[in-house]
Amino acid sequence: MDIKNIFRETNTVFNSPLEFALRCLCILDNSKTQGIDLERLVYYDYLILNTGDFTDLPSIHTPLPFRGAQVFVKREFIKEGLKILISKQLIELKFEEQGIRYYKTHLTNPFLQFINCDYYFKLKERIELVSNYFKNYTDEQLTNYINENLEKWGGEFVKESLFRNTSIS
């Protein structure tokens, strides 16, 4: 899958590297001085959009069937988004003992101050919630949590289709 060509051909922001970049920038801004690796960014991006899967706070995006699979699809879009942010010096990457980690820069917060819409404020609220909820999880614990729940997230649609005797395909 060539992400760059998909973005060029559709010329949309929705589900583009730019959309993922902006969410990652918000996540990194919330992380204060701590860096975040790609894996945690992917997981946090999913959890932020789907807070209804693990809390009482409604999800920002409409729950979709098999939405847990998004975790596998997001990685390439997020990588492209991170390249955009690095090219604009909004984030930096550092090679550390634990691996590659991404950090906000001195330009991150001033850039984000220009964003003023309901979606952004809902996003910030959920980023804070996810960060606090999972801050004490090690990378291994977070990965285990995601893996243990992936099948459940969006699986309710399968049960509903069986109950109604319909197919979701």
pLDDT tens string 98-129: 899 999 999 999 999 999 999 999 999 999 99
| pLDDT exceeds 50 at position 165 | no
pLDDT at residue 11 in the model: 54
Helix axes 3-10, 70-87, angle to 10 degrees: 80
pLDDT tens-place string over residues 130-155: 999 999 999 999 999 988 887 777 65
pTM for the predicted model, two decimal places: 0.81
